[in-house]
Structure 1
Amino acid sequence: MRFQGEEEAAAKVPVTSPFRYNSPLVQVSLIGLVCFCCPGMFNALTGMGGGGQVNPDAANNANTALYTTFSIFGVLGGGVYNIFGPKVTLAMGCSTYVLYAGSFLYYNHQQDQTFAIFAGVLLGMGASFLWAGQGAIMTSYPTATRKGTYISLFWIIFNLGGVIGGLIPFILNYHRQEKAETVNDMTYIVFMCFMSAGTLISLTILSPDRVILKLFCNRKLRLIIPAAWASNFFYSYQFDNGAQMIGSVGIGYILDFSFKSRRTRGLVGVGIVAVLGTVIWAGGLANQLNYSFDKPPNRLDFKRCGSDFAGPFVLYFSYGLLDAMFQCLVYWVIGALADTSETLSRYAGFYKGVQSAGAAVAWQVGKKKDSLAQPADCELGADHFELSIAGGPHLQGS
């Protein structure tokens, strides 16, 4: 099987197969595996709620430090990528994920959040390097006619990491009888092993031709700021959602195959995401009107709460669907602004920097509302999956 247009992506290399090592398909798949192992497992770690701890303060403060640093270094990530190339840039970024997971292993024993906050600062720097490299590879390696397809492919692999990572604490803590509200040491060790594997995989990414640093002053890019600010704002309560893979496939098809005109495909994609976003957030508002500061929402156990679980679950599923469609669309738009990896790495770094500034604010907003995530009417049983729209997803075994 041959993907139309892949020849241009590697013009200097004779074309034999889309599955050759230096093809866009293989290279985007490899960066997907890197993100499967590192930010994917980070999402699973964060998605446990409080980093797997009873007291969420350490995780909230670490994430605030992370995204604050990320917002500063995000715009510098493209420059680092252009100087050191993808291998070194990605490896440096991936190594900080290992340290971050290790800080919670340390916290499991010492209950001192200093290391976690420090690791969060370093991860903010490292993540800026990783996502600048990822953005450059994902948006510049594929040809214009297949950017949506490859972005959706990346998003499937990446989000599969969060989904599989979400099963790790469930499996490893399912039968625990003591201290079941915190995860065991092996949970963090497994996360660290995946993240270490991601660091090694990053060394297999091929480098593009040598590039010259460029500053960008693109008015169209500045128009993306509101979308960038909002794109990670909801991650304080929505992680590890299998619907993200479904959403990425759908929007990828629309952006590459729905119409002959690239402009028409883009406008249709924006329209669909806008309509879905309005409907889904209207559903979120309707759900939120059922509770207040004085009457917090219940935590729902899918084994004990029955039909009460269905509505919030559909809403949570829809959030994940919209998340992937929204982010794939933004990346596709960024990819349409330029074709060279050096320019796109700057654009991706700018996007991630603004995105992380929004996320830093979101985590502090979430911290102020931790009290809303306490169990209420529906009693939780053993071996349960918790879903709290206000407090985020929590996977716990007891």
Structure 2
Amino acid sequence: MSAAQESTTAVPAAGSPDESRVSDGTDVVDLPAGWRYRQRRIFGFNIPWYASPKTQLGMVAFVCFLCPGMFNALGGMGGGGKTDATLADNMNTALYSAFAVFGFFGGTFINKLGVKWTLAFGGVGYCIYAISLLASVHADVGGFNIFAGVLLGICAGLLWTAQGTIMISYPNEAQKGRYFAWFWGIFNMGAVIGSLIPLGENINVKSNSTVTDGTYIGFIILMFLGAVLALFLCNAGDIVRPDGTRVILMKQPSWQSELLGLWETLRFEPFVVLLFPMFFSSNWFYTYQQNAVNSARFDTRTKALNSLLYFLAQIIAAAIWGYLLDVDNLRRSVRAKITWVTLVVLTFAIWGGGYAYEEGYTRESVDPKLNPDFVSMDWTTDGYVGPMFLYIFYGFYDAAWQASVYWFMGALSNSGRRSANYVGFYKGIQSAGAAVMASLDSRKLSFKAEFISNWVLLSVSLVIAAPVIFLKIRDNVDVEDDLKGTDETIADVLPAGHPEKAVA
């Protein structure tokens, strides 16, 4: 179904003044009564109903625009905006360790508490994290910094699992790639705009120094607004797709049933464990890129510019990748194989260029304490263009990798409950990798060793994931398969008036 078909004007249902209907161009689908299911026309455009996948994904994207988007802008400068990355490394080790635990079980919390409260609580941790960094500029608050890292790990684990669940379970099978593109573009626009804050505040700072207080204050305010916005979301049980179907959920889940659901998810598709190395390596490279590349070589204003370009590249890559993943002319199983081959090519092309660049310096050679002659590179320095484009391609690669992983998971199931568990596994394992890498960086592992670990992990994980991608991704997932392990029936998820609904 096209976007134009999906956003047609609602008309009253025949014989039922309390219900509305939406036309998708071929059928007329009943929608429940209430303001959440009414379409409106604003400035000549048909706006999808409030409890539609498009509207809810847009709102989640803006929550992430304001919370993790700003966090990424701050972290993209390396060291959380501070000259010495040690404090940020220690905070991020605590953050991702907690993230790994709560991300792994995040699907359990979402299925029990709902996406709205999970996302709202998740947004709070980002504010506290930025506050602790601001406080550390003026006082020794190491305990508060570590607490903030742990709290953000808990909050982010829940927020990202809720976001991923929405992104891969709300749309129909033909739109999962473009839903990723919409989300990733809006989310990373937060990082782009967030990068303008330190760039504007530090436009004349050519030395490598800590960002200003105003930079941190701006991030704190925006992150708080993101947490508040999450309170206006609908829960998954209220969502109705344009074809009238609903998201598959567990009725009245208990903590026991949800913990059991983790095992049932693996039993449903045990081959998903072969994607775990891709999960593990998907945040491993951030520490290297932000600390060993951006923070190590460049002055403050150029770090901010690099971060801006990095996230702009992510938006472009998400748009390209998301829409290509949904190309109608190729079967989904064929698209999965092409995606895998393309990732292999990009891994060796982009990281091969990164190897040539990394050979030009060491951790010791860019440390002013050990090498007093070292001068940070500015955007006016000869030779800046090459590293700039490398960093842009690193951003492009990140979005391509994340889009592919989300799409692979989405191709395995349309169930909201099962998707929540898949995303929980993804975010938990991803964060475990990030925690390990942050810890290694805090112990001053050589830049070359960090680089090699990235290239090897990414390459090997693609090889391990190949059986899932080549053998297990089908052209479509049957509703009956998705209902296994839940107490939903076909009648609960089919649109009203569907010929199989009465039989079910």
CA gap 1:295/1:98 in 2 versus in 1, 3 angstroms: closer
Letter of the 1:264 counterpart: V
Letter of the 1:2 counterpart: A
Instruction: Name the stretch that deviates more: 269-278 or 147-156.
Output: 269-278
**Aligned partners of 2:132 and 2:144 also within 8 Å:** yes
Identify the match of residue 134 of structure 1 among 163, 174, 192.
163
Give the distance between the partners of 2:5 and 2:326, measured in 1 at CA: 11
Residue of structure 1 equivalent to 2:229:
201
Residue of structure 2 equivalent to 1:275:
345
Residue of structure 1 equivalent to 2:423:
348
**Aligned partners of 1:31 and 1:202 also within 8 Å:** yes
**Aligned partners of 2:362 and 2:446 also within 8 Å:** no
Identify the match of residue 165 of structure 1 among 181, 194, 200.
194
**Aligned partners of 2:363 and 2:446 also within 8 Å:** no
1:300 equivalent in alignment to 2:377: yes
**Aligned partners of 2:53 and 2:170 also within 8 Å:** yes
**Aligned partners of 2:64 and 2:226 also within 8 Å:** yes
Give the distance between the partners of 1:250 and 1:274, measured in 2 at CA: 17
Task: Give 5+ residue unaligned stretches, structure 2.
Answer: 8-23, 40-45, 238-248, 291-306, 367-373, 453-504
Letter of the 1:197 counterpart: L
1:71 equivalent in alignment to 2:72: no
The equivalences for 1:36-51 within 5 A come to: 36-51=65-80
Instruction: Name the stretch that deviates more: 314-323 or 259-268.
Output: 259-268
Give the distance between the partners of 2:378 and 2:230, measured in 1 at CA: 39
Residue of structure 2 equivalent to 1:328:
403
Residue of structure 2 equivalent to 1:112:
141
**Aligned partners of 2:99 and 2:156 also within 8 Å:** yes
1:327-363, Cα deviation, whole Å (9 max, x unpaired): 0110011111111212111110110100001111111
1:215-247, Cα deviation, whole Å (9 max, x unpaired): 221323211111011101111143641111111
1:186 equivalent in alignment to 2:214: yes
1:182 deviates by 1.8
Identify the match of residue 285 of structure 2 among 234, 237, 242.
234
CA gap 1:180/1:362 in 2 versus in 1, 3 angstroms: closer
1:24 equivalent in alignment to 2:53: yes
Residue of structure 2 equivalent to 1:224:
275
Identify the match of residue 118 of structure 2 among 85, 89, 93.
89
1:67-95, Cα deviation, whole Å (9 max, x unpaired): 11111221111111111101110011100
**Aligned partners of 1:259 and 1:265 also within 8 Å:** no
Give the distance between the partners of 2:407 and 2:445, measured in 1 at CA: 35
1:269-327, Cα deviation, whole Å (9 max, x unpaired): 22212211211111111222333466559742111x12x11111111111110100110
**Aligned partners of 2:176 and 2:407 also within 8 Å:** yes
Secondary structure of the 2:419 match is: helix
1:252 equivalent in alignment to 2:322: yes
Residue of structure 2 equivalent to 1:337:
412
Give the distance between the partners of 1:30 and 1:79, measured in 2 at CA: 22
**Aligned partners of 1:5 and 1:145 also within 8 Å:** no
1:145-197, Cα deviation, whole Å (9 max, x unpaired): 000001011011111111111111221233579x9822222211111111111
Give the distance between the partners of 1:163 and 1:183, measured in 2 at CA: 17
Letter of the 1:186 counterpart: G
Residue of structure 1 equivalent to 2:132:
103
Q: Which has the larger radius of gyration?
A: 2
**Aligned partners of 1:18 and 1:24 also within 8 Å:** no
Task: Give 5+ residue unaligned stretches, structure 1.
Answer: 374-388, 391-398
CA gap 1:293/1:126 in 2 versus in 1, 3 angstroms: closer
Residue of structure 1 equivalent to 2:84:
55
Give the distance between the partners of 2:161 and 2:271, measured in 1 at CA: 19
Give the distance between the partners of 1:362 and 1:156, measured in 2 at CA: 26
Letter of the 1:194 counterpart: L
The count of aligned residue pairs is 371
Give the distance between the partners of 2:155 and 2:132, measured in 1 at CA: 15
